[in-house]
Amino acid sequence: MQELKLRWLLTGSLLSSIGMSFIWPLTSIYLHNRLGISLTTVGVVLLLNSLASVAGSYVAGMAYDKANPYWLLLGGVGTAFVTLVVLALHHGWPMFAVLLFVLGITSGWNLTLVNAIGTRIRRYDGRYVFNMLYFAQNLGVVAGTAIVGYVYHISVTLLFAIAAALFAFFFALVFFTYRPVGHRAVRVRRAESAGDPQPLRLPKWNRIVLIAFFAALLIIWTMYQQWVSNLSVYMTDLGIPLSRYSMLWTLNAGLIVGIQILLNTLSHSGKYLIYQVFFGITMVALSFVVLIFAKSYAWFVLAMTVLTMGEATAFPAIPALVNDLTPLDLKGRYQGMVNAWASAGRALGPLFGGAVIDATSYTTLFIVATAAVGVVLLALATLWLLVHQRLTVFNY
């Protein structure tokens, strides 16, 4: 049976990640410094972008289970390409905000479809597939953010044109190499119509565990976003240069590469997947404990190291776990919900952090984040201990 080669799925994920990394790092700077938009309005634009990603993720997941994913992905990538072409030609206000909203939809749409397609690759263990997808996405972020600053100072039009070119390559890649995805979808639907027993309803205990993990994703990503949105201001208030903050994300990327290589050697140890999730969440909580005491740059380096150990282990393991707990005809829907709940956390994070900081202090924010992630860990561990023997694992 012909199957999509993993290297093409990873290449597509890499191209998409690089292309979008040309957009999101400069959004605030471009809107505020170049277009003169207030920071409050910029915050609303970013919130709408994140909410658009939530919608794109959810709808794409539902559509994946009912339609041909080959055409769905072609449509999503094609729409992103056209949007970026228009953005290269018209990037004033308010057109930029409108097009950024569309890119939010396509970003969630394409990411969900790529992850859902990954559930259909049988040549490799699911944990390996999701680890490699996470690796490719982060490699794209590293490459994109390393280049974007230089190109931005040359020409914004050139920046958006390069992003459009990357999505043109992605579109061509999907068109020529992703056809087995469509063929497989047709075979699955024919098997179902012929009476192949594919459960349409999720088992009760599987559903409960998945709901718990989606709530956990919302809370963890809300807290994680404090690193992205508020920590730079805190560090500069302490007299640490902004360039040092940027170096933390370089460290983050390098550690992710090393950790993913290690995880891929252990990816066939499926029974340890849940412990990988618990370890990762523990590390995320501990990173905020370190931040409570961080007053010098060395402490921030330590906190970032601990955080990266957490995200690199927990974040790719959760979609792999969701894959194991969902039947074939519901995988798209629930992979979409993974991305939707994570995107919702990313949307709420800056607003939540800003509100806590304005009302109290940065230290209080770090204490609240530690407690919130700690409660998530305790709740998930307790639930898993009580119900894991009642769960149905779907292997195809």
Those residues whose C-beta lies under 8 Å from the C-beta of residue 20, and which sit 6 or more positions away, are 103, 107, 140, 144, 163
User: Locate tokens 């982060």: which residue?
Assistant: 138
C-alpha distances out from residue 319 to 13, 18, 131, 313, Å: 15, 21, 10, 12
Residue 199 within a domain: no
Burial of 281 (0-12, 13-18, 19+ CB in 10 A): buried
Q: 162 and 102 in one domain?
A: yes
Conformation bin of residue 239: beta by default, left when phi > 0, alpha when psi is -120 to 50: left
Q: How far apart are CA 244 and CA 261, in angstroms?
A: 26
* Residue at 204: amino acid letter: K
* Domains of the chain: total: 2
Q: 38 and 59 in one domain?
A: yes
Residue 110 within a domain: yes
Instruction: Tell me the pLDDT band of 271, cut-offs 50, 70 and 90.
Output: low
Mean pLDDT within 318-338 = 91
Question: What's the pLDDT at 88?
Answer: 96
Mean pLDDT within 319-329 = 90
Q: 325 and 242 in one domain?
A: yes
Question: What's the pLDDT at 246?
Answer: 75
Q: 256 and 177 in one domain?
A: no
| Final residue belonging to a domain, choices 145, 166, 193 | 193
Q: 80-120 pLDDT, tens per residue?
A: 999 999 999 999 999 999 999 999 999 999 999 999 999 88
Count CB neighbours of 172 within 10 A.
12
Instruction: Evaluate if residue 268 carries a pLDDT over 80.
Output: no
Question: What's the pLDDT at 248?
Answer: 87
Q: Mean pLDDT across the chain, nearest whole number?
A: 89
Q: 323 and 216 in one domain?
A: yes
Task: Write down the pTM of the prediction.
Answer: 0.84
CATH number at residue 349: 1.20.1250.20
Q: How far apart are CA 198 and CA 330, in angstroms?
A: 9
- Bond before 94 cis per omega within 30 degrees: yes
Q: 32-87 pLDDT, tens per residue?
A: 888 988 867 887 888 899 899 999 999 999 999 889 999 999 999 999 999 999 99
Instruction: Evaluate if residue 279 carries a pLDDT over 90.
Output: yes
Q: 280 and 310 in one domain?
A: yes
Residue 355 within a domain: yes
Q: 189 and 211 in one domain?
A: no
Residue 219 within a domain: yes
Count CB neighbours of 118 within 10 A.
24
Which of 49, 56, 137 minimizes the C-alpha distance to 347?
A: 49
Residue 60 within a domain: yes
What are φ and ψ of residue 90, in 5° steps? -135, 95
Least confident interval from 60-69, 184-193, 209-218: 184-193
Q: 189 and 89 in one domain?
A: yes
Instruction: Tell me the pLDDT band of 221, cut-offs 50, 70 and 90.
Output: very high
Instruction: Tell me the pLDDT band of 183, cut-offs 50, 70 and 90.
Output: low
Q: 279 and 215 in one domain?
A: yes
C-alpha distances out from residue 265 to 93, 126, 239, 275, Å: 49, 13, 41, 16
| Final residue belonging to a domain, choices 193, 219, 253 | 193
Q: 63 and 101 in one domain?
A: yes
Range of the domain at 348: 204-390
* Contact present, 318 and 277 (Cβ < 8 Å): yes
Torsion of CA 384, 386, 389, 392, to 10 degrees: -60
| Final residue belonging to a domain, choices 172, 193, 214 | 193
Q: 145 and 220 in one domain?
A: no
Q: 130-163 pLDDT, tens per residue?
A: 889 988 988 888 888 778 878 888 899 999 999 9
Question: What's the pLDDT at 146?
Answer: 77
Instruction: Evaluate if residue 126 carries a pLDDT over 90.
Output: no
Mean pLDDT within 184-206 = 62
Q: 247 and 164 in one domain?
A: no
Residue 269 within a domain: yes
